[in-house]
């Protein structure tokens, strides 16, 4: 689960950048064009690359950037896209909801990641 401090930091940064934000699909496309080709999936044993099937522990990844989206018409549209780089150089994305829409497995994994930047 994302800590309250991390959540508040993300919320504050998102608010200041709201006018610059694009749609979820647009951001994912831009990240893919920047080399973030892999899709990741949180599992009980770590973060799984769906491209290479490699498994990563929280200390083996870096959150290079994240984008938070708030659904204007539907609160269930709240989501976060993480741009991730692994220690071995693999780059990809992970999408999660937040609030009631968050995936507990992703939240648990992300709460253990210490290398997060924006």
Task: Return the HEC string of the chain.
Answer: CCCHHHHHHHHHHHHHHHHHCCCHHHHHHHHHHCCCCEEEEEECCEEEECCCCCEECHHHEEEEEEEEECCCCCHHHCEEEEEEEECCCCEEEEEEECHHHCCHHHHHHHHCCCCECC
In the chain, pLDDT over 90 holds for what percent of residues?
Answer: 53
Q: Has residue 1 got a pLDDT over 70?
A: no
> What is the rounded average pLDDT for all residues in the chain?
82
In the chain, pLDDT over 70 holds for what percent of residues?
Answer: 75
Q: Output the pTM of the full model.
A: 0.75
Domain borders along the chain are 4-111
Q: What is the pLDDT of residues 80-94, one digit of tens each?
A: 999 999 999 999 999
Q: Has residue 26 got a pLDDT over 70?
A: yes
């Amino acid at each position: 689960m994302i800590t309250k401090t991390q959540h508040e930091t993300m919320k504050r940064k998102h608010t200041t950048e709201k006018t610059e934000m694009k749609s979820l699909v647009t951001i994912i496309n831009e990240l893919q064009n920047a080399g973030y080709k892999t899709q990741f999936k949180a599992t009980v044993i770590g973060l799984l690359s769906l491209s290479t099937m490699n498994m990563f522990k929280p200390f083996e990844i870096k959150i290079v950037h994240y984008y938070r989206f708030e659904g204007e018409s539907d609160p269930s549209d709240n989501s976060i896209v993480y741009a991730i780089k692994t220690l071995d150089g693999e780059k990809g994305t992970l999408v999660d909801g937040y609030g009631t829409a968050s995936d507990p497995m992703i939240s648990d994994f992300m709460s253990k990641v210490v290398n997060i930047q924006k």
